[in-house]
């Protein structure tokens, strides 16, 4: 509790924070400069040219082309500069590093569910280590939500039916606010939590202390069998469905003649609406699993598909290694392609 003092700036606890703050301070300075310039000019004119006699009129001045050009072009150039600066930051925000520690996020009215790759599940609390890029792969069960961590200066909408992404690298151990920033109904302001950033050793200890339900991919593998996906999607190319081994991140041809990159959104769509984008050479015979798999179940299946390698399925199960390298092909924002 810090009431009584007025905080002016949020904590800076990610690699992005200082970059965002730099631009912010520049713009605060620019705003102050122009506002004060205008205010001083107005104040001086108000006093200096105050009407002396009731019938006095102003000087006959219509305008000046040179001035118009100056005060159009200079702001324009400043704007170009700000645009370039802000774009540079945004591109860094949009492009996660190749190796990230992935955490799946499901938002629902009014709570956050986090699933770590090696099985830990958290509600309204997210534990991450210092110094590791973390990528959140997020979706919503109901309406649009938004993950906002002011101390990291990052934010992204969490949209039902889509997977959105957000990445950060925490730089300072501590606890930081996690807000839902997109209005989502009655208890919107209760959809809050905290991000707990830990030193790597503490994080390892936290991981070891967690309840082990098996890795996310292994849960997905179990679901894959429970739903009998494995009867058609076989590793030996003899099944009625495409082989899923080594599929994630690859480009595949569709019956329609189009191509699609296999990302989270495509896998989700193929489970829920399997006849929308059928792989070339296959019949549209797969039934829909709409209503049979929860959002968390879908994420487990996706993680399972990501983990499928020709040689083994072990690597994704190994804790603390972050996501498989195949993730680097995932676009930062993945709206579903529409036909």
Q: How far apart are CA 318 and CA 5, in angstroms?
A: 47
Site string for other proteins, 242-281 (x = CB under 8 A): -------------------------------x--------
Task: Tell which one of 18, 98, 123, 183 touches other proteins (CB under 8 A).
Answer: 183
* 3-state SS, residue 166: strand
237 contributes a contact to other proteins by CB under 8 A: no
Task: Tell which one of 186, 238, 251, 310 touches other proteins (CB under 8 A).
Answer: 186
Yes or no: say if 160 and 142 are a contact pair by the CB < 8 Å rule: yes
- Work out how close the CB of 251 gets to other proteins at its nearest, in angstroms, rounded to a whole number: 18
- Work out how close the CB of 277 gets to other proteins at its nearest, in angstroms, rounded to a whole number: 14
Neighbours of 104 (CB within 10 A): 25
- Work out how close the CB of 272 gets to other proteins at its nearest, in angstroms, rounded to a whole number: 10
Q: How far apart are CA 232 and CA 241, in angstroms?
A: 5
* 3-state SS, residue 141: coil
287 contributes a contact to other proteins by CB under 8 A: no
Task: Tell which one of 20, 126, 244, 260 touches other proteins (CB under 8 A).
Answer: 20
292 contributes a contact to other proteins by CB under 8 A: no
Contacts with other proteins by CB under 8 A: the residue count is 97
Q: How far apart are CA 183 and CA 193, in angstroms?
A: 16
Torsion angles phi and psi, residue 267, rounded to 5: -65, -45
289 contributes a contact to other proteins by CB under 8 A: no
With respect to other proteins, which residue has the nearer C-beta, 62 or 208?
62
- Work out how close the CB of 112 gets to other proteins at its nearest, in angstroms, rounded to a whole number: 14
Yes or no: say if 290 and 272 are a contact pair by the CB < 8 Å rule: yes
Tokens (6 digits) for 166? 């957000």
196 contributes a contact to other proteins by CB under 8 A: no
Scanning the structure block, which residue is given the tokens 């996690």?
178
With respect to other proteins, which residue has the nearer C-beta, 62 or 257?
62
Strands of 164-169's sheet in order across? 121-123, 111-116, 101-108, 133-140, 164-169
With respect to other proteins, which residue has the nearer C-beta, 143 or 243?
143
27 contributes a contact to other proteins by CB under 8 A: yes
With respect to other proteins, which residue has the nearer C-beta, 247 or 298?
298
> What 8-state DSSP symbol labels residue 266?
H
76 contributes a contact to other proteins by CB under 8 A: yes
Yes or no: say if 83 and 118 are a contact pair by the CB < 8 Å rule: no
Yes or no: say if 30 and 39 are a contact pair by the CB < 8 Å rule: no
Task: Tell which one of 35, 256, 312, 315 touches other proteins (CB under 8 A).
Answer: 35
The residues in 88-147 that bind other proteins, with binding defined as CB under 8 A, are 88-94, 109, 142-144, 146
With respect to other proteins, which residue has the nearer C-beta, 108 or 306?
108
Yes or no: say if 249 and 330 are a contact pair by the CB < 8 Å rule: yes
How would you class 135 by CB atoms within 10 Å of its CB: exposed for 0-12, middle for 13-18, buried for 19 or more? buried
Stretch that binds other proteins, among 78-86, 209-217, 222-230, 321-329 (CB under 8 A): 78-86
């Amino acid at each position: 509790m810090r009431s009584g003092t007025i905080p002016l700036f949020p904590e800076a606890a990610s690699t992005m924070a200082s970059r965002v703050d730099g631009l912010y301070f520049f713009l605060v300075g620019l705003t102050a400069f122009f506002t004060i310039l205008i205010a001083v000019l107005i104040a001086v004119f108000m006093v200096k040219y105050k009407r002396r006699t009731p019938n006095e009129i102003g000087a006959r001045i219509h305008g000046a082309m040179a001035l118009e050009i100056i005060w159009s072009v200079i702001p324009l150039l400043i704007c170009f500069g700000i645009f370039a600066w802000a774009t540079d930051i945004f591109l860094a925000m949009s492009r996660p590093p190749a190796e990230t520690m992935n955490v799946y996020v499901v938002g629902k009215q009014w709570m956050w569910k986090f699933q770590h790759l090696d099985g830990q599940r958290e509600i309204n609390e997210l534990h991450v280590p210092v110094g590791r890029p973390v990528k959140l792969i997020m979706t919503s069960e109901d309406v649009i939500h938004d993950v906002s961590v002011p101390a990291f200066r990052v934010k992204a909408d969490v949209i039902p039916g889509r997977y959105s992404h957000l990445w950060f690298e925490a730089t300072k151990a501590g606890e930081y606010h996690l807000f839902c920033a997109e209005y989502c109904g009655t208890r919107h302001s209760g959809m809050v939590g905290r991000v707990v950033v830990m030193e790597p050793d503490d994080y390892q200890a936290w991981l070891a202390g967690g309840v082990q339900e098996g890795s996310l991919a292994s849960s997905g593998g179990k679901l894959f069998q429970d739903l009998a996906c494995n009867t058609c999607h076989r590793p030996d190319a003899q099944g009625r469905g495409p082989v899923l081994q080594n599929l994630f991140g690859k480009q595949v041809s569709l019956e329609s003649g189009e191509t699609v990159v296999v990302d989270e959104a495509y896998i989700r769509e193929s489970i829920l609406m399997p006849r929308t984008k059928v792989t070339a050479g296959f019949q549209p015979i797969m039934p829909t699993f709409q209503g049979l798999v929860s959002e968390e179940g879908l994420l487990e299946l996706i993680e399972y598909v990501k983990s499928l390698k020709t040689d083994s399925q072990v690597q994704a199960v190994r804790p603390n290694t972050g996501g498989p390298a195949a993730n680097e092909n995932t676009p930062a924002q993945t709206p579903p392609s529409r036909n």
